[in-house]
Amino acid sequence: MKPKKLKKRIQQLEKSLREGSEKLARLKRRLQQAETAKSLKAARKSAARATASAGNRPSSAKKPKKKLNLSPERRAQLAAAMKARWAAKRAAEGNSATSGDQNSPPPPMQPPENRGDGV
Note the pLDDT tens digit of each residue in 22-71. Answer: 888 888 899 999 999 999 999 999 888 888 776 655 566 788 888 888 89
pLDDT of residue 38: 92
How many domains does the chain divide into? 1
Lowest pLDDT segment from 6-10, 44-48, 49-53, 109-113: 109-113
Q: Which domain holds residue 44?
A: 1-52
Is residue 22 in a domain?
Answer: yes
Is residue 64 in a domain?
Answer: no
Is residue 98 in a domain?
Answer: no
In the 8-state DSSP scheme, what is residue 55?
S
- Measured between alpha carbons, how far is 119 from 53 in angstroms, rounded to an integer? 79
Pick left, alpha or beta for residue 62 (phi over 0 → left; psi -120 to 50 → alpha; otherwise beta).
Answer: beta
Is residue 35 in a domain?
Answer: yes
Mean pLDDT on 60-89:
90
Mean pLDDT on 97-107:
57
In the 8-state DSSP scheme, what is residue 59?
G
Residue ranges in the chain assigned as alpha helix (H) = 3-54, 72-101
Is residue 45 in a domain?
Answer: yes
Is residue 29 in a domain?
Answer: yes
Is residue 111 in a domain?
Answer: no
Res. 5: pLDDT tops 80 = yes
Res. 100: pLDDT tops 80 = no
With a pLDDT cut of 70, the percent of the chain lying above it is 75
Is residue 5 in a domain?
Answer: yes
pLDDT of residue 39: 93
